Amino acid sequence: MEFVREEGKQINEDCSNLILPALSIGNVGQLAVDLLVSSTGAETVGYLDDPFVLPCVGNDAYRPIPRGDLALPLQAYESPSSGLTLVQQRSPVVKGMMVEYAKKLADFAAASGKKHVVMLSGLDFGRLQRIDMSSGLQIYYLSSASADGTDDYCEQLGWKRLQEYNPSQRCWKYLSTLAEGKAGEEENLPFEDDLEEEDYYPSLPFAALFSCFKARGLKVTCLLCYCSEGDNIADAFNLGEAACKLLKLNPDKFHGEEGERWIIPFSWKTVYGPPPDMSIF
């Protein structure tokens, strides 16, 4: 993985918190990162070139006035006022190469001096065993702060640790050995047809990223929410708010339009396509 800086740009050492998505159901993590990039006024500092990320290209996702800026598969942004580096991933990883990609991304984070990695992702609502909507949309978390994934500050915020995380379970354990470079040829994950219920969560992208960042000695926190495919904008706001609480940022200072806390990304205007032609009614 190669980091290519924008001309005249340098990595800001004060932007030591890294936020990035883990691709999953509803693209909630990507939507939340878009929201944070737009609202914090983060500027492009470069892009990451990796052979395991499928190529794509598009228009600038955040500004209505064309400036010739392109949106690329892995793009890095910085917001010095918020102390944030944000990496947006816009296309999936080649099948079977998730761990290798995660290792390279962890190496980039460590080499650029990141102190806390915050990962945002959705989970399949159909797998939620107990639904509790008494306090609104629930945030779940997974942290490298302790061996069992718990974190005192996350608990104080009212979030619940992902119960399905079990570091001694076969797939979670195998991910750790892969991330640490200790897995031998005789150690293999079960084939997809042999996966059991408990193997589902460690098979997701956030699990590989979490394991690799943790193996590099970085502090990493996954913020997760259960959702379904569809209009996931509310879930994106939920994860964006959670990231701000975790990093003690105040969205009131983001200066959204007309007194709003958030600045809606321009690309969201067409996220579900253009409105219908009213003449057909």
- For residue 61, is pLDDT > 70? yes
* Of the candidate ranges 93-107, 176-190, 210-224, 259-273, the one whose mean pLDDT is the lowest: 176-190
Q: Return the H-helix or E-strand segment holding 256.
A: none
Radius of gyration, CA atoms only, the chain: 19
Query: How big is the CA angle at 101 (ends 37 and 83), to the nearest 5 degrees?
Result: 30
pLDDT the model gives residue 135: 52
pLDDT the model gives residue 211: 94
- For residue 99, is pLDDT > 50? yes
pLDDT the model gives residue 142: 95
pLDDT the model gives residue 186: 41
* Of the candidate ranges 66-80, 86-100, 207-221, the one whose mean pLDDT is the lowest: 66-80
- Pick from 20, 55, 12, 24: which is nearest to 37 by CA? 20
pLDDT the model gives residue 251: 84
Per-chain mean pLDDT for the chain: 86
Which pairs from 249-255 meet CB under 8 Å and 24+ separation? 249/82, 249/84, 251/39, 254/39, 254/40, 254/41
* Of the candidate ranges 35-44, 121-130, 138-147, 253-262, the one whose mean pLDDT is the lowest: 253-262
- For residue 133, is pLDDT > 60? no
Q: Which residue has the tokens 């740009």?
A: 9
Give the C-alpha separation, 36 to 20, whole Å: 10
- For residue 4, is pLDDT > 90? no
- Would you say 172 and 206 are in contact if contact means Cβ atoms under 8 Å apart? no
Q: How distant is the alpha carbon of residue 154 from its chain centre? A: 17
- Across the range 186-210, mean pLDDT stands at 74
159 or 10, higher pLDDT? 159
- For residue 121, is pLDDT > 60? yes
Residue 198 exposure: Cα atoms within 13 Å on the Cβ side: 10
- Would you say 32 and 268 are in contact if contact means Cβ atoms under 8 Å apart? no
- Would you say 198 and 11 are in contact if contact means Cβ atoms under 8 Å apart? no
Encode pLDDT of 214-259 as tens digits.
999 999 999 999 988 888 888 999 999 999 999 999 888 776 555 5
Share of the chain above pLDDT 90, in %: 50
- Across the range 96-123, mean pLDDT stands at 93
Share of the chain above pLDDT 70, in %: 88
Give the C-alpha separation, 184 to 182, whole Å: 6
pLDDT the model gives residue 154: 95
Q: Return the H-helix or E-strand segment holding 119.
A: strand 116-124
2 confidence band (pLDDT: 50, 70, 90) = confident
pLDDT the model gives residue 185: 42
Buried/exposed 231-265: b ≥16 CB within 10 Å, e otherwise: ebbebbbbbbbbbbbbeebebeebeeeeeebbbbb
Dihedral over Cα of 40, 43, 44, 45: its sign: negative
- Would you say 92 and 54 are in contact if contact means Cβ atoms under 8 Å apart? yes
pLDDT the model gives residue 181: 81
pLDDT the model gives residue 225: 92
Backbone angles phi, psi at 64, to 5 degrees: -75, -20
Q: How distant is the alpha carbon of residue 264 from its chain centre? A: 18
* Of the candidate ranges 58-62, 80-84, 97-101, 276-280, the one whose mean pLDDT is the lowest: 276-280
pLDDT the model gives residue 188: 55
